[in-house]
Amino acid sequence: MSITFQTTSVAGQARTGRLVTPHAELETPVFMPVGTVGSVKGVPQDILEELGAQIILGNTYHLYLRPGVETVRRMGGLHGFISWDRAILTDSGGFQVFSLSELRKLNEDGVTFRSHLDGSSHFFSPESAMQAQIGLGADIIMAFDECTEYPADLARVRASMEMTARWAARSKTYFEAHKEQVSWGMESKIASEHVGTAALGCAGQHEVDEPAELRSAGQPRAAVPTQGARQPKGLSLREHATQALFGIVQGGMDRELRRESAERTVEIGFPGYAIGGLSVGEPRELTREIVESALEYLPKDKPRYLMGVGNPEEIVEYAGLGVDMMDCVQPTRAARHGLLFTSEGKISIKQARYAQDPEPLDPNCGCRVCQRYSRGYLRHLFASNEILAQVLNTIHNLSFYLDTMRRVRHSISLGEESRSLSGIWSQPNVRPPRIQA
């Protein structure tokens, strides 16, 4: 098993689904917080669990440079290294190498680039990118691709798209030959030596006894185990699971090239498909047009992942078009600059008008920040350059994104085809109550 995907409800083009990975069962459409170096900036893993994050994203390029793939592999892969027992997706590093336009050289074999940390020279190929991601051990990994800049002429975009198709085939060939080398076996060994597999939530629906001293009275188990696969009592699901390799559709801003890229990628055959190369400076209207054109040619029985998009309005819109998975750094990046998303619109908490505001940041939000702190205090923390400002701002923004997606799923399950953020937030709150210790 790598993953299984099943559509559970449909409203127009939008759909909800159940995506079962080796570490967790996800409800889709799902938003994935970005944990670039194995950390969603400023937010501990237990709070991510509390917020309802089902899956997080790690960055192969950054983790390859520091702490290094071998270090992560020896500690049980990313799940063991960062103490996260839910699902993880890693990108291939292609976009990050693309962003190093002044520090890279590309040819058919791969990309030579210089580290942004120390200027040292490195080389990524489809094969080495797969090797790195197998070592990192995420549930879902991505084929190595080339992202095209915007604007770019047609010849450049076609050459890039064709390179991506060839690299996708090479990625799959290497992955299929080496997928059994995933680091979960090492993770199981480490787990059994220290806390036992039960404490990691590995037993699926069949629980095994957990020593009482491992958790406080009333404390929930640390993990959200996979519910979709049944295994004998005490047997880790991951012992018989492999990672899932997704292909990536490229083609710049040309609809015909996007169609060709989608068809060629589907012909190679992957358990899921991503739409890449967007949010690189193009107008939003063009982004939507390209997303729609690519979705038209992707299988309806496989998960569809839109990479690096977008703001709250966009994640509602693209879920309405039938996208199943999305990620974006915007909720965390905006939080660090004092830009907060609320059901009543954006708030720049740095503004002086909030200095004596006793109201919660968002009266419709149930996150720990809005339940406890005033706008005036959040503004004071930001103006004082307190680290806590970035932490609290990030928790709220992530909560807003995850709550938005939860509301989207609820709307679709009711047969409602809502594609506006205001429409989603006008509905009753569907956030589950917080578990009390």
Residue numbers annotated as active site: 91, 327
* Local structure of 186: helix, strand or coil: helix
CA distance 387 to 220: 29
Q: Which residues contact 433 (CB under 8 A, 6 or more apart)?
A: none
CB 260, CB 44: distance < 8 Å:
no
Query: What is the 3 state secondary structure string of 124-140?
Result: ECHHHHHHHHHHHCCCE
Q: What is the DSSP string of 1-65?
A: ---EEEEEEEETTEEEEEEE-SS-EEEESEEE-B-TTSS-TT--HHHHHHHT--EEEEEHHHHHH
Chain-centroid distance of CA 292 in Å reads 21
CA distance 92 to 99: 13
User: For the chain, how far is it from start to end, CA to CA, in angstroms?
Assistant: 35
Q: In sequence order, what E strands does 154-277 have?
A: 244-249, 273-275
CA distance 344 to 422: 8
Return the amino acid letter for 193: E
CB 117, CB 126: distance < 8 Å:
no
CB 90, CB 142: distance < 8 Å:
yes
Q: Which residues contact 422 (CB under 8 A, 6 or more apart)?
A: none
How many residues in the chain? 437
Q: Which residues contact 372 (CB under 8 A, 6 or more apart)?
A: none
Beta strand pairing call for 121-124 and 304-306: unpaired
CA distance 315 to 151: 24
